[in-house]
């Protein structure tokens, strides 16, 4: 009797362990009915409601156009995606298609480990060269060893585009009779004028850190050349970060902070909080990426517009911009043809139309007969994107430059804005990080 109960309890424990193992072990495929049903497992990070609707629509249309194919979608927020996708892509039952963040720590590391499929064959097959430019392609390109960024094979295609510029509150601008500036000098004069009128010129908060990089680099982009920013980001031609231009940009940013142009208490305000302040009419402008536009189109009685940070006299006037997080294919996937077809679907004219309808900039050109409204904030961001594209003035997110650049830049910018460091202190500290990276690579 006793023995039996012991035996039973042991069996029970083993059963529980086994059942949980088998649940984990089996991929959730249920291809019983159609016998030939193919399941495409896709991970994306379009979790916001408007974005998610676009993906759901595209997925449903893809399934309708491909009988026997079912898309199993898994949505994650970016942080969650970044921490789990690398391990998932190394598994046999991992996602066939996944969004992979650009830059060395993510796409670069995955390419180095041989986990992503080079897409050059499909680039020709689908004629993607007519969909996006080589400058866009290089942002999703690495050499096959994952060491050199910006050249080599294509590893992803991006459905959306981004440009960092100035959102402004048209309602407030009208009320106070402020004009949209066309030169950097005008812009700085406008900041002073807005401040004098008792309004916060720029809604801004550095508690989350990363948006300080955009704030700084947006000014930096007005002062440097496209070659410099390309060299810096792709880690070629041994440029330095400790340059007069980078120092000047830091000086301008610090001056703005000292002049009180940012939200009161900005070091203790998070990114979303500062956007909410701006949306509620507390602050005349905010400098961030075009991805904010959909949120500013609904749920507010203020009217908003967007312009590029105006060029510094005699300089080329670059803007931070680029394409959104790309879709990539797992190199060990057995459904590569279907996966490539899916990628092509995500950058189709139809996708462009849907993204534009949601207020997001598509990376692809809109069809000529588009019905999307462009006489609003979305139209402003589209104009800005087209402007820098045509002028070949699309810059970079500089935090891609080295694996630790993001952390170093955030820490140094917070020190600069907190007044415990100097512009020279910033450029020297960041250059130390950059030089160490270049050296580690040359070994």
Partner 1 sequence: MARVKYRYPGESRWKGWWYVLPALTVYLLFTFLPILETIRTSFYQWDGFSQQKTWIGFANYLEIFSDPKFHNALRNNLVFVIFYSIIPILIGLFLASLLSRRPIPGFAFFRTALFLPQVISMVVVGVVWRWMFNPTSGPINIALNWLGLGRFAISWLGDFTWALPAVGSIGTWVQYGFCMILFLAGMQRIQEEYYEAASLDGANALNQFLHITVPSLRSEIAVALVTTIIAALRVFDLVYTTTRGGPGESTMVTGFLIYRSAFMLNRIGYAAALATVLTLIILIISLLIRRYQRHGVEEDA
Residues that bind partner 1 (CB under 8 A): 6, 9-10, 13, 17, 82-83, 86-87, 89-90, 105, 109-110, 112-115, 206-209, 263-270, 273, 277, 403-404, 406-407, 410-412, 414-415, 418, 420
SS (HEC) of 327-355:
EEEECCCCCHHHHHHHHHHHCCHHHHHHH
The rounded distance, in Å, linking the Cα atoms of 198 and 442 is 53
Closest CB 436 distance from partner 1, rounded Å: 13
Closest CB 12 distance from partner 1, rounded Å: 9
Closest CB 207 distance from partner 1, rounded Å: 6
- Residue 141 pairs in a beta bridge with 154
Q: Which is nearer to partner 1, 2 or 371 (CB)?
A: 2
Closest CB 355 distance from partner 1, rounded Å: 28
Closest CB 299 distance from partner 1, rounded Å: 18
CA-to-CA separations, 419 to 215, 243, 246, 287, 415, in angstroms, rounded: 16, 20, 17, 21, 6
Q: Which is nearer to partner 1, 47 or 210 (CB)?
A: 210
Q: Which is nearer to partner 1, 13 or 192 (CB)?
A: 13
Report the chain's C-alpha Rg in angstroms.
24
- Torsions phi, psi of 201, nearest 5? -65, -45
Q: Which is nearer to partner 1, 184 or 406 (CB)?
A: 406
Q: Which is nearer to partner 1, 2 or 177 (CB)?
A: 2
Q: CB–CB of 319/10 below 8 Å?
A: no
SS (HEC) of 282-324:
CCCEEEEEHHHHHHHHCCCCCCEEEECCCCCCCCCCCECEEEC
Closest CB 206 distance from partner 1, rounded Å: 6
Q: What is the DSSP letter of 62?
A: H
CA-to-CA separations, 188 to 29, 66, 206, 259, in angstroms, rounded: 59, 55, 21, 11
Closest CB 385 distance from partner 1, rounded Å: 29
Closest CB 420 distance from partner 1, rounded Å: 6
Q: Which is nearer to partner 1, 209 or 367 (CB)?
A: 209
The rounded distance, in Å, linking the Cα atoms of 262 and 119 is 44
**Closest to 40 (Cα-Cα) out of 62, 71, 74:** 71
- Torsions phi, psi of 266, nearest 5? -55, -30
Buried b / exposed e along 9-28 (16+ C-beta atoms within 10 A): eeeeeeeeeeeeeeeeeeee
C-beta neighbour count of 198 within 10 angstroms: 7
Q: What are the residues whose beta carbons fall under 8 Å from the beta carbon of 271, sequence distance 6 or more?
A: 205, 207, 208, 210, 211
The rounded distance, in Å, linking the Cα atoms of 406 and 118 is 27
Q: Which is nearer to partner 1, 367 or 403 (CB)?
A: 403
Q: CB–CB of 319/162 below 8 Å?
A: no
Closest CB 61 distance from partner 1, rounded Å: 33
Q: Which helix (H) or strand (E) holds 229?
A: helix 226-234
Tokens of 87: 């391990």
Tokens of 68: 């026997």
Q: Which is nearer to partner 1, 209 or 379 (CB)?
A: 209
Q: Which is nearer to partner 1, 270 or 379 (CB)?
A: 270
Closest CB 282 distance from partner 1, rounded Å: 8
Q: Which is nearer to partner 1, 109 or 438 (CB)?
A: 109
Q: Which is nearer to partner 1, 124 or 407 (CB)?
A: 407
Closest CB 343 distance from partner 1, rounded Å: 22
């Amino acid at each position: 009797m006793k023995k039996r109960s012991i035996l039973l309890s042991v069996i029970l424990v083993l059963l529980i362990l086994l059942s949980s193992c088998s649940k984990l072990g089996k991929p959730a495929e249920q291809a019983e009915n159609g016998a030939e049903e193919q399941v495409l497992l896709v991970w994306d990070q379009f979790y916001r409601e408007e974005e998610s609707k676009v993906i759901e629509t595209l997925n449903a249309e893809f399934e309708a156009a491909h009988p026997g194919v079912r898309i199993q979608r898994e949505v994650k927020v970016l942080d969650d995606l970044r921490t789990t996708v690398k391990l998932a892509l190394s598994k046999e039952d991992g996602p066939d298609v996944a969004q992979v963040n650009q830059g060395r720590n993510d796409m670069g590391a995955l390419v180095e480990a041989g986990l992503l499929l080079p897409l050059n064959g499909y680039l020709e097959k689908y004629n993607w060269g007519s969909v996006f430019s080589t400058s866009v392609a290089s942002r999703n390109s690495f050499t096959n060893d994952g060491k050199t960024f910006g050249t080599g094979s294509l590893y992803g295609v991006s459905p959306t585009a981004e440009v960092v510029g100035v959102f402004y509150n048209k309602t407030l601008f009208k009320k106070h009779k402020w004009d949209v500036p066309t030169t950097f000098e005008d812009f700085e004069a406008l900041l002073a004028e807005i401040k004098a009128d008792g309004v916060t010129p720029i809604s801004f908060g550095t508690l989350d850190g990363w948006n300080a990089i955009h704030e700084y680099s947006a000014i930096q982009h007005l002062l440097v050349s496209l070659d410099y920013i390309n060299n810096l980001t792709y880690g070629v031609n041994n440029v330095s970060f400790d340059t007069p231009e980078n120092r000047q940009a830091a000086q301008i940013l610090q001056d703005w902070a000292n002049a009180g142009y940012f939200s009161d208490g900005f070091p203790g305000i998070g990114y979303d909080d500062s956007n909410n302040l701006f949306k509620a009419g507390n602050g005349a402008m905010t400098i961030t990426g075009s991805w904010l536009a959909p949120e500013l189109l609904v749920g507010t009685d203020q009217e908003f517009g967007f312009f590029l940070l105006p060029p510094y006299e005699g300089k080329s006037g670059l803007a931070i911009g680029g394409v959104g997080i790309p879709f990539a294919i797992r190199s060990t996937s057995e459904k590569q043809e279907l996966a490539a077809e899916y990628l092509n679907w995500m950058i189709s004219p139809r996708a462009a139309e849907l993204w534009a309808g949601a207020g997001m900039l598509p990376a692809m050109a809109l069809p000529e007969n588009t019905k999307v409204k462009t006489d609003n904030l979305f139209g402003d961001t589209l104009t800005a994107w087209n402007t820098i594209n045509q002028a070949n003035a699309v810059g970079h997110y500089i935090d891609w430059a080295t694996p630790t650049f993001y952390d170093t830049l955030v820490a140094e910018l917070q020190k600069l804005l907190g007044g415990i460091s100097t512009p020279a202190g910033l450029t020297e500290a960041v250059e130390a990080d950059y030089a160490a990276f270049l050296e580690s690579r040359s070994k």
